[in-house]
């Protein structure tokens, strides 16, 4: 089982940002309204995610670190109707196999909770403790026992860039959750958690970018889209300028980016991407999220319909707003 965990770790835990993604997704799945993230040295020294969510029952805390013990999938059919972010139950065991992990959790405000400590897959502690409601995960010395993997890590700045991407995407996906993110003690992001996407965009890209963006909003029986997109004043040569969310999950999808670009095509020079966040909602049967292990790629069952929906929604937004150049 220890070996299985280390093998799974190779797939799930590529770098600090992949650990962070799993920890934040768990915090989101736990109905948290606050998620505080901090990292040291690009996350290689330490990653901490603290939430105020449902917490984990004392009797279940150790189970959460056992492979597939908690998988939310009961039948094969469920694979097509996934509404939580996590579903394979292998992130925590994989992380605990290649790091020093401490988890403190409590399910209520009694002040009593549980702490579990695991190092490289070995259980060090599992006992009652004082804890506020919610869960705190601390992951230290990632890859300390897998030097070959550690060797592949890039500079602190590169790893920090990947960590930031993960936090930004989750913050954009959930404007209703207050996120903080700090690195080596410096606060890099703070979102209000009041549900206003524009304020999250302002926290990430700056107030003036956020002000210039226009709203995309459209519904049909299959799809709904809410988003913000910049007129050509705010473009990037980098595809990262476009954030696509499907049912609250960050995805990479040409099926969404291409129609966005199509709607813009007379306005934008080649290879410039408009700063954009598109939040798409659809019935879970219309999207298959189980295509890629890292869950970034999805397959849409009515892709052509979706493409024309996105294109017309963006065209409508671009057409209906008067373009006022700033500055």
Q: Using CB under 6 A, list all residues that contact ligand ADP.
A: 22, 26-27, 30, 51, 53-56, 64, 70, 72, 86-92, 135
d(C-alpha 229, C-alpha 58), whole Å: 45
Question: Nearest distance from residue 92's CB to Mg ion, in Å?
Answer: 7
User: Given the complex with ligand ADP, which of 82 and 256 has the nearer CB atom?
Assistant: 82
User: Given the complex with ligand ADP, which of 76 and 327 has the nearer CB atom?
Assistant: 76
- Six-digit token pair at 156? 């602190």
Question: Nearest distance from residue 136's CB to ligand ADP, in Å?
Answer: 8
User: Given the complex with ligand ADP, which of 64 and 261 has the nearer CB atom?
Assistant: 64
Q: Which residue has the tokens 């304020």?
A: 199
- Six-digit token pair at 263? 């709607």
User: Given the complex with ligand ADP, which of 131 and 318 has the nearer CB atom?
Assistant: 131
User: Given the complex with ligand ADP, which of 60 and 196 has the nearer CB atom?
Assistant: 60
Distances (CA, A) of 223 to 176, 220, 263, 279: 21, 5, 18, 10
User: Given the complex with ligand ADP, which of 51 and 311 has the nearer CB atom?
Assistant: 51
All residues at 6 or more sequence positions from 209 whose CB lies less than 8 Å from its CB, including other chains: 201, 202, 230, 234, 275
146 binding Mg ion? (CB under 5 A): no
Residue of this chain nearest to Mg ion (CB atom): 86
Question: Nearest distance from residue 135's CB to ligand ADP, in Å?
Answer: 4
Question: Nearest distance from residue 53's CB to Mg ion, in Å?
Answer: 12
Question: Nearest distance from residue 232's CB to ligand ADP, in Å?
Answer: 40
- Given ligand ADP, Mg ion, none, residue 175, with its beta carbon under 5 to 8 Å by kind, binds none
Number of residues that bind Mg ion (CB under 5 A): 3
32 binding Mg ion? (CB under 5 A): no
User: Given the complex with Mg ion, which of 95 and 156 has the nearer CB atom?
Assistant: 95
- Given ligand ADP, Mg ion, none, residue 30, with its beta carbon under 5 to 8 Å by kind, binds ligand ADP
- Given ligand ADP, Mg ion, none, residue 292, with its beta carbon under 5 to 8 Å by kind, binds none
* Residue selected from 5, 6, 18, 26 as contacting Mg ion according to rule CB under 5 A: 26
d(C-alpha 199, C-alpha 203), whole Å: 6
Choose the stretch contacting Mg ion; rule: CB under 5 A; options: 18-26, 36-44, 109-117, 219-227: 18-26
Task: For the segment 81-110, give every residue that binds Mg ion (CB under 5 A).
Answer: 86, 91
- Given ligand ADP, Mg ion, none, residue 53, with its beta carbon under 5 to 8 Å by kind, binds ligand ADP
Chain residues that interact with Mg ion, rule: CB under 5 A = 26, 86, 91
């Amino acid at each position: 089982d220890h070996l299985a965990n280390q093998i799974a770790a190779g797939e799930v835990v590529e770098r600090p940002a992949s650990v962070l993604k799993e920890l934040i997704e768990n915090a989101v799945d736990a109905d948290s309204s606050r998620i505080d993230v901090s990292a040291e040295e690009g996350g290689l020294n330490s990653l901490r995610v603290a939430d105020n969510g449902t917490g984990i029952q004392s009797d279940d805390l150790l189970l959460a670190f056992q492979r597939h013990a908690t998988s939310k999938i009961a039948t094969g059919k469920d694979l097509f109707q996934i509404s939580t972010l996590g579903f394979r139950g292998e992130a925590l065991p994989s992380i605990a196999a290649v790091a020093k992990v401490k988890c403190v959790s409590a399910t209520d405000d009694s002040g009593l909770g549980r702490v579990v400590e695991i190092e490289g897959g070995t259980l060090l502690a599992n006992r009652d403790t004082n804890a506020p409601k919610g869960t705190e995960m601390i992951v230290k010395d990632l890859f300390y026992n897998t030097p070959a993997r550690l060797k592949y890590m890039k500079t602190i700045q590169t790893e920090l860039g990947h960590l930031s991407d993960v936090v930004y995407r989750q913050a954009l996906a959930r404007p209703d959750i207050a996120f903080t993110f700090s690195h080596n003690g410096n606060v890099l992001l703070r979102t209000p958690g009041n549900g206003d996407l524009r304020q999250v965009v302002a926290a990430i890209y700056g107030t003036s970018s956020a002000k210039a963006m226009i709203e995309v909003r459209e519904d049909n029986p299959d799809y709904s889209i809410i988003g913000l997109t910049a007129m050509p004043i705010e473009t990037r040569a980098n595809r990262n300028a476009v954030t696509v969310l499907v049912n609250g999950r960050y995805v990479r999808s040409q099926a969404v980016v291409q129609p966005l670009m199509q709607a813009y095509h007379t306005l934008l020079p080649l290879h410039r991407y408009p700063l954009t966040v598109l939040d798409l909602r659809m019935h879970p049967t219309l999207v298959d999220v189980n295509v890629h292990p890292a869950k970034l790629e999805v397959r849409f069952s009515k892709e052509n319909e979706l493409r024309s929906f996105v294109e017309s929604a963006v065209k409508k937004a671009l057409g209906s707003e008067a373009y006022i150049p700033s500055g």
